[in-house]
């Protein structure tokens, strides 16, 4: 995972959406932000360097926190997004980039992020929606089977991204804004650098979800498609940004909702 995250740092798709994600935080000098599930800490470093904001980066994995410290980040904490070790309203904004798809309870995680951000502060979340995946190889049925296994087996919450705007609205957030970004992979170089597609079928076979013969067939057809130029993979990501309600009573959504 550490190597994968370093590998993605220079990919155009990731550079572009991360730039937009950081803009949506509305950071500025002296403001305080929290990167939840920060990985190797590239975005935390960038936000701090480009805006003068004070950034705290946390991750559940000790190995990620060690990488962040190695990369020069000073405010790093091993922390679970379900129980953030920060006081209420401690930050001007918090973000989670490709994290909610992996956590046990995305609703609780968002609730914690909202708790630690002050009224008027920003929440930004980015995740893929794996229900939007498309894959072209010669055998369409096999492609569909691999994609459904990827949704069911590889990812804990493969379609959480489409639920985030509703979850933030239910938490009483305002200005809920959604954008989409589609990752499109066609060339040989990119297929080897992002998504680890070449390893999917073997992993499903190792886990007992796919016959070895099917995995071999998938790998051969994948290779054929890549070599012939007919290969295509795409998935759409949702970027959601919102503002924490200005008054505590605005966060109470217990009354009758009128549309």
Ligand X SMILES: C[S@@+](CC[C@H](N)C(=O)[O-])C[C@H]1O[C@@H](n2cnc3c(N)ncnc32)[C@H](O)[C@@H]1O
Provide the binding-site residues for ligand X, judged by CB under 6 A. 5, 36-39, 59-61, 64, 80-82, 97-99, 102-103
By C-beta, is 53 or 210 nearer to ligand X? 53
By C-beta, is 84 or 191 nearer to ligand X? 84
Q: How far is the CB of 181 from ligand X (least distance, A)?
A: 13
Task: Please tell me the distance from the alpha carbon of residue 250 to that of residue 173, in angstroms, as a whole number.
Answer: 8
- State residue 50 phi and psi, 5-degree precision: -90, -20
Ranked by CB distance to ligand X, the top (closest) residue is 39
By C-beta, is 41 or 172 nearer to ligand X? 41
Maximum CA extent, the chain: 60
Q: How far is the CB of 20 from ligand X (least distance, A)?
A: 13
Q: If you ran DSSP here, which 8-state letter would residue 153 be given?
A: I
Q: How far is the CB of 45 from ligand X (least distance, A)?
A: 11
Please list the residues that pair with 182 across neighbouring strands: 236
The three-class DSSP label of residue 234 is strand
Residue 146 is encoded by which pair of tokens?
């691999």
Q: How far is the CB of 120 from ligand X (least distance, A)?
A: 24
By C-beta, is 85 or 246 nearer to ligand X? 85
Q: How far is the CB of 233 from ligand X (least distance, A)?
A: 18
Q: How far is the CB of 249 from ligand X (least distance, A)?
A: 30
By C-beta, is 155 or 221 nearer to ligand X? 155
By C-beta, is 64 or 160 nearer to ligand X? 64
Q: In Å, how far from its chain's centre is CA 106?
A: 12
Of the candidates 168, 116, 109, 124, the one whose C-alpha atom is nearest the C-alpha of residue 27 is 124
Of the candidates 102, 119, 81, 122, the one whose C-alpha atom is nearest the C-alpha of residue 240 is 122
Residue 190: which residues within 8 A CB-CB, separation 6 or more?
11
Beta strand pairing status for 232-243 and 117-136?
antiparallel
Kind and range of the H or E run holding 93? strand 91-97
By C-beta, is 108 or 230 nearer to ligand X? 108
Q: How far is the CB of 62 from ligand X (least distance, A)?
A: 9
């Amino acid at each position: 995972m550490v190597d994968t995250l370093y590998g993605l740092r220079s990919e155009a798709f990731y550079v572009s959406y991360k730039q937009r994600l950081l803009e949506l935080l509305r950071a500025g000098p002296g403001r305080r932000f929290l990167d939840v599930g920060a990985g190797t800490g590239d975005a935390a470093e960038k936000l701090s360097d480009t805006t003068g904001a004070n950034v705290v980066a946390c991750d559940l994995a000790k190995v990620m926190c060690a990488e962040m410290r190695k990369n020069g980040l000073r405010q790093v904490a091993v922390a679970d997004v379900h129980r953030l070790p920060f006081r209420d309203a401690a930050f001007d904004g918090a973000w989670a980039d490709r994290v909610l798809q992996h956590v046990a309870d995305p609703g609780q995680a968002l609730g914690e992020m909202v708790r630690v951000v002050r009224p008027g502060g920003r929440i930004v979340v980015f995740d893929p929606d794996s229900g939007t995946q498309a894959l072209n190889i010669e055998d369409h049925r096999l492609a569909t089977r691999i994609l459904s296994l990827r949704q069911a087996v590889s990812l804990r919450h493969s379609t959480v991204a489409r639920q985030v705007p509703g979850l933030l609205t239910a938490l009483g957030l305002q200005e809920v804004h959604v954008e989409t970004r589609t990752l499109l992979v066609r060339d040989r170089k990119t297929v080897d650098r992002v998504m680890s597609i070449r390893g999917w079928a073997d992993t499903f076979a190792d886990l007992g979800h796919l016959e070895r013969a099917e995995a071999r067939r998938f790998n051969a057809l994948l290779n054929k498609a890549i070599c012939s130029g007919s290969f295509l993979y795409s998935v759409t990501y949702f970027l959601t940004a919102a503002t924490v309600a200005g008054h505590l009573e605005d966060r109470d959504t217990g009354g009758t909702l009128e549309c």
